[in-house]
Structure 1
Amino acid sequence: MAARPATSVARKIFLIATEESGDRLGANLMKVLRQRLGDAVRFDGVGGQQMAREGLISRFPIEQLSIMGLAAVVKQLPKLLRLIRQTAEAVTESAPDILVIIDSPDFTHRVARRVRARDPSIPIIDYVSPSVWAWRPGRARAMVSYVDHVLALLPFEPEAYRRLRGPPCSYVGHPLAEQLGSLRPDTAEQKRREAAPPVLLVLPGSRRGEIRHHMAVFGETLARLADEGVAFELLLPTMPHLQQAVTDAAKAWKVAPRIVLGEPERRAAFRIARAALAKSGTVTLELAISAVPMVTAYRVGAAEAWIMLKMIRVNSVILANLVLGENVIPEFIQHDCTAEKLLPALRDVLTDSPMRQRQLAAFAGIDGIMATGNQSPSARAADIVLATMRKARRPV
């Protein structure tokens, strides 16, 4: 391969984010990098609407990668492989000063390996660690060959990388740390949180497959709770593109939820909620930061469940439990995800039970656990990106 120029007018940063959460991270990182470098930076890559607002023209629409389930992945495999190959070629042809891959490891890591093989001089940052601490820990060691630095969202991840002999890993902070004001109640909202009937959130997931797996069992659990004479106001936050699927599934529920649309309304619901029934995922960390006690559940298809149960290496799949370092939140996974098992736990978190008090006591320490000092997560991430560029090429 021909040598790349030693100098250029502006720094070129290639970013790849293929999901909405990664798109948000990428957009915030781009914003800080532009603040630091001014006109001396150009962005290229793959991203969604938020990165587009920061000036990125995506190489392809990220909706092309909205694929759920093993069967769907197998069906779309030729298309996925083609996009991986084309994206890697785009990176090396662009010859950026750095490549930043953001989450979506099944796609981004395959691109990164190809880029490293084609042009080892391009430094590569992985923003959002794959869950090497939970399953397939050998990935951490393998990443040494194609990742220069990992930017971790969770405070326990740097130690996991040291233990697993992975690449350098730095905790930059979770983006939720920048959103505390939108998750915590003011005085009036706290009064509603404590008033009767209590507000109960139900959060079945943010993907169609998750809606399909969780809505029926959640509806049955809520019906049994109402049959016991427990009063509650039911809110179901979702996004506009899932509204119809959620509405159709909720028609079978004995207790009709009030469906809340959009992110601002969703956060407002968190601020008045007394408890939640939630699908496992990042939402559990949002609820913990909001001080909303919860019961969590997770169901997937049979093939995915077999793989998950064989490979999981942690004693909890609940993100909030892992961050807190103790299993204070009950979890009902796969065959345990039944109305019979969910019901007593949900009753407990709605009342002033020892389970509820234990969760609230643990949640009170979460700010200290996730602290990042005076810098925002995006600023800390930008610092490491710039330092890696400086080390690999010329001074910034």
Structure 2
Amino acid sequence: MNGQAVIGPRIMLVAGEPSGDALGGELMQALKDMTGGKLSFSGVGGARMEEQGLASIFPMTDISVMGPREVVPRLPLILRRIRQTANFAIAHKPDVMVIIDSPDFTHLVARRVAKKAPGIPIVNYVSPSVWAWRRGRARAMARYLRRVLALLPFEPDFFKAQAGLDCVYVGHPAINRLPEPGAGKRFREAHGISADTPLLLLLPGSRVNEVKRLMGIFGETAANLAKEVPGLQIVLPTVPHVGDYVRAEVAKWKLPVTVIQDEAEKRAAFDAANAALAASGTVSLELGLARVPMVIGYRIDRMAGSLVSRMLKVPSVVLVNLILDRPSVHELLQHRCTPENLGAALLPLLRDTPERRRALADLDELKTRMGAGGEHPSIRAARAVLEILDTKALPAP
């Protein structure tokens, strides 16, 4: 494929956004390492996958869009790219096709391929969160997928129970985002924070709307805690597209706050922190794996919140709680997300208390369940992909 002589397995990969492209690039590298490079790639990807030898059949930016405002005007192009990708797979008949995240694109491609070329095994890397509110979709996925590569350790049992679908836990990318040893000590030294000074992280999210809803609540929570905890230091990691807004809001607060934007410095701050107040999302896993006791606070508009609460099929929105299968992390949502409630939940985590010790023990268990410190997720994912192929056809490494 791609003008090269075909050697070994022919693997087609389809990613639709930068995070999937990063996973795809790591998967391709692991696949090459495990087969001695005796394989060929085709499909759709971005810069990271192209670095590993993929000649994308069209620019991934054509389909890397978010939200209705971006999708609607580009819908004709996106639909055309779905047909083009599926037709490419049907015509070239790869030995296996791996669809990576972006379910609104990749699963439409997979369904077309499965219908027209059922002999092509399709592997889904990063499943949509059907366990949260669309459980019936698992049975639909079983009709066109051979295997799911799961990021969360409870997903294999879910897919087996719901649909008899083969699912292998390979690990979450957050496992690879752990702070470097000693990073917290260096962070404190760089910012003039002594080793015994309590440090609280505020993480109000990365989307503009959620940051606007939570900044005031988180700021008031921090101000209240500063009255209770002498010398409390506040660090607020943010991201570029909301950085200016965050800094402008922090300037109005009557307490000192260190705002950071660099990703490496954010991980170092995790290593330095005593506790964190965070918006709901993947950040709970990152904090948990960095062993930072946390409280999750979140608000959306009342109508959307009512709809979500009716649709939700899991007992918690916090991934740490779902993985541990118990309410370890306090989650204060909607009307319960107030400075008073958040402060009351955080205060014991900033001191040497039974609550803090229990939280740390739970986070140690989280790391064990997620396999932190073991094989890289991309290696596990590559092995799970190669298992789908006829082992006799695999070249020796």
**Which residue in 1 is equivalent to 2:285?**
285
Query: Which residue in the other structure is 2:133 paired with?
Result: 135
Report what 1:21 is aligned to. 19
Q: CA deviation at 1:124?
A: 0.6
1:217-232 superposed matches below 5 A: 217-228=217-228, 230-232=230-232
Alignment partner, residue 257 of structure 2: 257
Amino acid at match of 2:349: V
Task: Pick one of 27, 32, 35 that aligns with 1:34.
Answer: 32
1:60 corresponds in structure 2 to: 59
**Does the residue aligned with 1:205 lie in a helix, a strand or coil?**
coil
TM-score by length of 1: 0.85
Tell which has more relative contact order, 1 or 2 (C-alpha 8 A, sep 6+). Answer: 2
Aligned residue for 2:143, secondary structure, equals: coil
Gap change, CA 1:191 and 1:236, over 3 Å in 2: closer
* Pair 1:112–1:293, CA change in 2 (3 A): same
1:256 CA displacement: 4.7
Deviation at 1:306, TM superposition (A): 3.8
| Deviations, residues 335-368 of structure 1 (Å, cap 9, x unaligned) | 3223232222122322233332221121122233
Q: Does residue 87 in structure 1 map to residue 93 in structure 2? A: no
CA shift for structure 1 position 245: 4.1
Give the aligned residue type for 2:221.
Answer: T
Secondary structure of 1:151's partner? strand
Question: Whole-Å Cα distance in 1 between the matches of residues 145 and 383 of structure 2?
Answer: 17
CA distance in 1, matches of 2:201, 2:373: 32
- SS of equivalent residue, structure 2 residue 200: strand
What is the CA distance between 1:299 and its match in structure 2? Answer: 2.9
User: CA separation of 1:56/1:315 partners in 2, compared to 1, >3 Å: closer, same or farther?
Assistant: same
- Partners of 2:176 and 2:266 in 1: CA distance: 17
| Partners of 2:300 and 2:75 in 1: CA distance | 20
- Report the CA distance between 1:194 and its aligned residue: 8.3
Distance across 2 between alignment mates of 1:241 and 1:49? 22
| Post-superposition offset of 1:387 | 1.8
How far apart in 2 are the matches of 1:81 and 1:301? Answer: 32
Q: Is structure 2 residue 103 aligned with structure 1 residue 113? A: no
Alignment of 1:134-153 (within 5 A): 134-153=132-151
Alignment of 1:321-360 (within 5 A): 321-360=321-360
TM-score if structure 2 supplies the norm length?
Answer: 0.85
The amino acid of 1:151's aligned partner reads: L
Cα deviation, residue 258, structure 1: 1.9
Mapped contact 1:183–1:270 kept (Cα < 8 A): no
Q: Give the Cα separation in 2 of the matches to 1:78 and 1:224.
A: 52
Helix, strand or coil at the partner of 1:202: strand
Secondary structure of the corresponding residue to residue 129 of structure 1: coil
Deviation of 1:143 after TM superposition, in Å, equals 0.8
Tell me if structure 1 keeps the 8 A contact 2:8–2:393. no
Give the Cα separation in 2 of the matches to 1:165 and 1:216: 44
What amino acid maps onto 1:45 in structure 2?
G
Confirm or deny: 8 A CA contact 2:17 2:63 kept in the other structure. Answer: no
Asked if the contact 1:65–1:80 (Cα under 8 Å) also holds between the matched residues in 2, the reply is no
Provide the secondary structure at the position in 2 that maps to 1:291. coil
Q: Distance in 2 between matches of 1:308 and 1:248?
A: 31
Aligned to 2:269: 269
Moved more, 74-83 or 170-179: 74-83
The answer to whether the aligner puts 1:237 opposite 2:237 as a matched pair is yes
Residue 125 of structure 1 aligns with which residue? 123
Structure 1 residue runs of 5 or longer lacking an equivalent are: 1-6
Q: Check whether the contact 2:185–2:195 (CA below 8 A) recurs between aligned residues.
A: no
Question: Which letter maps to 1:115?
Answer: V
Deviation of the 1:126 alpha carbon? 0.7
Matches within 5 A, 1:308-387: 308-371=308-371, 375-387=375-387
List gaps (5 residues or longer) in structure 2: none
**Paired amino acid for 1:135:** W
1:31 Cα deviation (Å)?
A: 0.7
- Alignment-derived partner of residue 174 in structure 2: 176
- What letter matches 2:149 in structure 1? L
